[in-house]
Amino acid sequence: MNICSCNREGRCAEMAMVCLTDFEEYAKEHLSKATWDYYAAGADECCTRDDNVLAYKRIRLRPRILRDVSVCDTRTTVQGTEISFPVGIAPTAFHCLAWPEGELATARATEALNTCYIASTYSTCSVEEIVAAAPRGFRWFQLYVYRDRKLSEHIVHRVEGLGYKALVLTVDVPYTGKRRNDIRNQFKLPPHLKVKNFDGIFQPATAGPEEYGIPANTLDPSISWQDIYWLQSITRLPIIIKGILTEEDAELAVQHGVQGIIVSNHGGRQLDGGPATIDAIAEIVDTVQGRIEVYMDGGIRTGSDVLKALALGAKCVFIGRPAIWGLAYKGEEGVREVLQILNDEFRLSMALSGCRNVDEINRSLIQCSKL
């Protein structure tokens, strides 16, 4: 796709960005190959990454008519906080690779749209800088558990003190998945960027080999359900588990007292061959039975995708790569455009399906027999 077309004076006139794939094509054209490959990477053959998107196309809607959709209300709540529509920003690393202001621009965009931003442990701006950039923003923090538990404990206390509203514990990375292009490209953060939340903690002279900006073998592969109790003992923040794909683990999550689940396969970047998240969510929602909130990420590209996810029981969805594409296009303004397009498309899909508010979205809207 050509993003600009030349007029008679030879100047380029900007073309309208109509849908999320416009931003994707722009980002692919303008980011360096290594950066694009990093963001686009899936594990192994990328089957799960690709199926995250394709699975939505297998789901059909059952629209209702003559329902007076002159007013459609997209507002919802997550963990008791109202947001303007049920789409937030998933935790994604290294935003400064896509735009110089990085996570600061992302935080401002989500503040402006009044939705939830999950800041990544692997941010290229610190948790303090993110708060300063968008002081009224609604934020959660995505957490990993490290072999040195004091590292995890220290950052939990930092974000709790800064007013982050929940911890999103990522549980599907005992080891990093095999992302072939990152290996081929020998991907590393450029020297001017750092994982800012650990700035000064890891000393280069003693750190040894790095993996995605921090020393290799720092993540703790021994993490287990017992660590949920440890985390509960050091914080009062709600704990949301990200990376659940089965009813068995959903039940264990409820039993261990967490406040939410994000159905996620890490954007297809970890285990290849697992289910698309939209195909996994129904069994998890059925298992949880409303005891805790269920969210999901992976493959959201249109407003009708959001509608389908909510119809299958998601309380809110989170986007990862599309936010990066927006950043690459125009920083804060680009992320705002991506979110606004999804908001507008979601509202239109609601109206055309006969839903006047999110409470009217339910499984009767889906042709379950076709799944």
Are the C-beta atoms of residues 248 and 25 closer than 8 Å to each other? no
Q: What local confidence, expressed as pLDDT, does residue 13 receive?
A: 41
Assess whether 154 carries a catalytic annotation.
no
The DSSP element (H or E) to which 116 belongs, if any, is strand 116-119
In the predicted structure, residue 238 carries a pLDDT above the cut 90: yes
pLDDT tens for residues 334-360? 999 999 999 999 999 999 999 999 999
In the predicted structure, residue 9 carries a pLDDT above the cut 50: no
Annotated binding site for FMN: 91-93, 120, 142, 170, 242, 264, 297-301, 320-321
pLDDT class of 368 with cuts at 50, 70, 90: low
- Of the residues 95, 192, 256, 266, only one is catalytic, namely 266
Cα 353 to Cα 154: distance, rounded to the nearest angstrom: 47
Q: What local confidence, expressed as pLDDT, does residue 217 receive?
A: 83
Are the C-beta atoms of residues 265 and 277 closer than 8 Å to each other? yes
In the predicted structure, residue 10 carries a pLDDT above the cut 50: no
- Among 5-14, 19-28, 74-83, 293-302, which stretch is predicted with the lowest mean pLDDT? 5-14
pLDDT class of 232 with cuts at 50, 70, 90: very high
Looking at the DSSP bridge assignments, the partners of residue 318 are: 88, 297
In the predicted structure, residue 14 carries a pLDDT above the cut 80: no
In the predicted structure, residue 69 carries a pLDDT above the cut 90: yes
- pTM above threshold 0.85: yes
pLDDT class of 8 with cuts at 50, 70, 90: very low
Q: What local confidence, expressed as pLDDT, does residue 104 receive?
A: 98
Annotated binding site for glyoxylate: 38, 144, 179, 266, 269
In the predicted structure, residue 317 carries a pLDDT above the cut 60: yes
pLDDT class of 214 with cuts at 50, 70, 90: confident
In the predicted structure, residue 63 carries a pLDDT above the cut 60: yes
Angle between helices 33-40 and 321-352 (to 10 degrees): 50
Annotated binding site: 38, 91-93, 120, 142, 144, 170, 179, 242, 264, 266, 269, 297-301, 320-321
Q: Which residues have CB under 8 Å from 87's CB, separation 6+?
A: 115, 300, 306, 316, 317, 318, 319, 339, 342, 343, 346
Give, in order, the Cα–Cα distances in Å from 53 to each of 6, 233, 267.
33, 38, 10
Among candidate residues 308, 302, 282, 303, the one with its CA nearest the CA of residue 365: 308
Percent of the chain topping pLDDT 90: 88
At residue 72, what is the residue type?
Answer: C
CB atoms within 10 A of CB 340: 15
Percent of the chain topping pLDDT 70: 93
Q: Tokens for 198?
A: 């650990």
Strand duo 210-211 + 214-215: pairing: antiparallel
